[in-house]
Amino acid sequence: MTNSKLPINKVIFLGILFLAAFIERVIFDLGPNVELITMALILSSFYFGKKESFWLTFAIIATSDAILGNSNIFLFTWSGFLIPALFASSLIKKLITNHKSQITKKIFDAFSLTAFGLSSNIFFYFWTNFGVWLIGNLYPHTSYGLLMSYINAIPFLRYQLTSTLIFVPLGLILTEIAIYLLKNYQARIRVSLVK
């Protein structure tokens, strides 16, 4: 949801999302497939739109992979995040509805964004493990090999789903608190200027 009334500077907000995901990936790795890229993708889509989400996601994976390196399936890994970034904004707009109660809306927004994050994780799981099977040499190029690629990756999917269940709602809550505090601060400044 592009929100022109968002009282926080777009560059600062996107910079914070970038740093959180980049630092988790490069410095404070929380574990295999525990990541903040999905949170950054979802929140940038929700508050701004497709373009910002795509380029933020691209910047996170490109810069962190420049430091960490990647494997021969990097096209699957990158597109596993970038494809959802392209569609997140329009799909989120369809999920988000107007509620009379702001509290009900915020709760529904949190559930909707988390659900989209989880569906992005499932797409990532199927797409990247297809890439592991197709390009890699870990599994035979048979239907059994593809099935084994998916089965052996279930623990990684579990970690990614768990991180999305935690970090998307947490990121949304922290952002909404920051917006609320910033709006109150700006209102106090306006009142003091009028006096």
Which is higher by pLDDT, 189 or 48?
48
3-class SS shares of the chain: helix, strand, coil, % to 5: 80, 0, 20
Round to whole Å and give the CA distance between 113 and 19.
21
Q: Tens digits of per-residue pLDDT, 154-177?
A: 999 999 999 999 999 999 999 989
Round to whole Å and give the CA distance between 139 and 130.
11
Q: Tens digits of per-residue pLDDT, 43-66?
A: 999 999 899 999 999 999 999 999
The label of the residue with tokens 């988000």 reads 96
At 98, is the pLDDT very low, low, confident or very high (cuts 50, 70, 90)?
A: low
pLDDT in the model for residue 69: 87
